[in-house]
Amino acid sequence: MIKVHSEIGKLKSVLLHRPGKELENLTPDVLEKLLFDDIPYLKVAQEEHDIFANTLRAHGVEVLYLTDMLTEALEAHPEVVSNFINAFIEESKIKSQTIKNALYKYLVNLSITDMIHKMIEGIRTHEITVGKHKSIMDMLEDEYPFFTDPIPNILFQRDPFSSVGHGVAIGKMFTHARQRETIFAEYILTYHPRFHKNPPIKYYHRLNRYPLEGGDILVLNKNIIAIGISNRTDPRAIEFFAEQLFKENTDFETVLAFNIPKSRAFMHLDTVFTQIDYGMFTIHPGIENKLTVFEITKNDTRFDVVKVVGSLEDVLEKHLKRPIKLIRCGGKDVITSVREQWNDGANTLAIAPGKVIVYDRNHVTNQMLVDAGIEVLEIESSELSRGRGGPRCMSMPLEREDIE
Ligand SMILES: NC(=[NH2+])NCCC[C@H](N)C(=O)O
């Protein structure tokens, strides 16, 4: 079951991916294409990730791993394994039929768990015997070190899909580098025993036309969703999502589309704006004043859209109907603020109202949270932060307790 009606209700169950050998398949040549800024030291990244998972467990959260969930889904439904492998190969954009056949044979002969890890890690050309080259395409594809690229961003489970109420929005990823992650999400949400009998409603689909990524979606409460019109999420996707959401019989009535700057530093709404308590948010000062927000509200046929230009505080106060406190990432100093935002200082994961997990390196912001009465749980972050994502980006809540 999926049950997420807020950003801050006590977290009961969360999906993570423990980083693996995909990080050791990163090289300087592919960093930009694969959306990483550096090559993390895997051993330390795993230790840091284990600290993250243990912090969650210590606070009563059930931690589920993507690779386990996917294994269980495919083991429960052997009849879909062949389609799954074909979707993966097809979307790895291999052009040569000879190589596709060889890859299929290689993957299908592995155990389900090994197959999933291999898909994530990337498959090097020397790992597979392709047989005699038959076409120019076969020979050309031989020149690149991978038949299938590694999927390092799977570390950021926030993005391939998003839990919204009792449903989900499966992402259409902005970059090809991340699109295969949504195949995994789709199979888990459809075939895992936890979901199979009563699958979550899908408000957005991975093969829809316009990009939409989970990091842009914030469930403000059971009636209101905030979405970033961002580097990664297109306004046409937001309208489609809103229409599907309003069609279903839920309490959601409003979608607030925040027009945020289109840059890598601000890639998703949750890199500049996360909720930490009732009416309390961390924000990047860049979106504080004069923000353009499109208020999409349900009507009898579809929805109305109104453009509002105002301060973030006013917009939130109007919709949440309570006093709003914004904590500026890095405080007043411009350098601190930009540095800490870059290292995901504004990307907090609330595990209960007023209780958040944050990266230890953002010490100025973290102190401000403590001063505001927030319970701050710091995790180590020297390697994890190199992929440009914080505790919220690395986690997808599946269940949260309701809040008043
Ligand atoms: N929800 C987020 N802010 N996710 C951050 C994802 C970072 C990842 N390297 C990317 O570029 O896609």
388 CB under 6 A from ligand 1?
A: yes
CB 231 within 8 A of CB 262: yes
Mean per-residue pLDDT, 368-386: 97
Measured distance CA(328)–CA(146) in Å, rounded: 43
- pLDDT exceeds 70 at position 393: yes
**Cβ–ligand 1 contact at 268 (below 6 Å):** yes
Of 8-17, 119-128, 244-253, give the range with the top mean pLDDT: 8-17
Instruction: Compute, in angstroms, the gap from residue 328 CA to the centroid of ligand 1.
Output: 21
The minimum-distance atom of ligand 1 relative to the CA of 344 is 3
**Best mutation site among 267, 268, 284, 344 for ligand 1 pocket (most ligand atoms within 8 Å of CB):** 267
Lowest mean pLDDT segment, chosen from 125-129, 164-168, 266-270: 125-129
Expressed in angstroms and rounded, the spacing between residue 150 Cα and the centre of ligand 1 is 16
* Cβ of 167 below 6 Å from ligand 1: no
CA of 155 to the centre of ligand 1 (A): 9
237 CB within 6 A, ligand 1: no
Answer whether 231 contacts ligand 1 (Cβ < 6 A): no
Question: Is it the case that residue 51 has pLDDT exceeding 80?
Answer: yes
Residue 326 φ then ψ, to 5°: -110, 130
The per-residue pLDDT of the chain, averaged, comes to 95
Residue that is written with structure tokens 């010490």 in the block: 363
The answer to whether 393 is a known catalytic residue is yes
- Taking residue 60's Cβ as centre, other Cβ atoms within 10 Å add up to 11
Catalytically annotated residue among 45, 53, 351, 393: 393
Which atom of ligand 1 is nearest to 175's Cα? 12
Q: Which two tokens stand for residue 400?
A: 């949260």
User: Is the per-residue pLDDT at 138 higher than 70?
Assistant: no
Write out 122-148 in H/E/C secondary structure.
CEEHHHCCCCCCCCHHHHHHCCCCEEE
Ligand 1 center to 333 CA (angstroms):
25
How far, in Å, from the CA of 295 to the mean position of ligand 1?
25
Tell me the per-residue pLDDT of 195-244, one tens digit each, with 9 for 90 and over. 999 999 999 999 999 999 999 999 999 999 999 999 999 999 999 999 99
* 35 within ligand 1 shell (Cβ under 6 A): yes
* Per-residue model confidence (pLDDT) at position 144: 80
122 lines ligand 1 (CB under 6 A): no
Nearest residue to 3 via CA among 404, 398, 403: 398
pLDDT per position as a tens digit, 307-359: 999 999 999 999 999 999 999 999 999 999 999 999 999 999 999 999 999 99
The minimum-distance atom of ligand 1 relative to the CA of 271 is 3
- CA distance readout (Å), 312 to 283, 316, 330: 10, 6, 18
Each residue's pLDDT tens digit, 62-93: 999 999 999 999 999 999 999 999 999 999 98
Q: Distance, CA 182 to ligand 1 centroid (Å)? A: 14
To the question of pTM greater than 0.90 for the whole model, the response is yes
CB distance 159 to ligand 1 below 6 Å: yes
Cβ(387) – ligand 1 distance below 6 Å: yes
Residue type for 371, please?
D
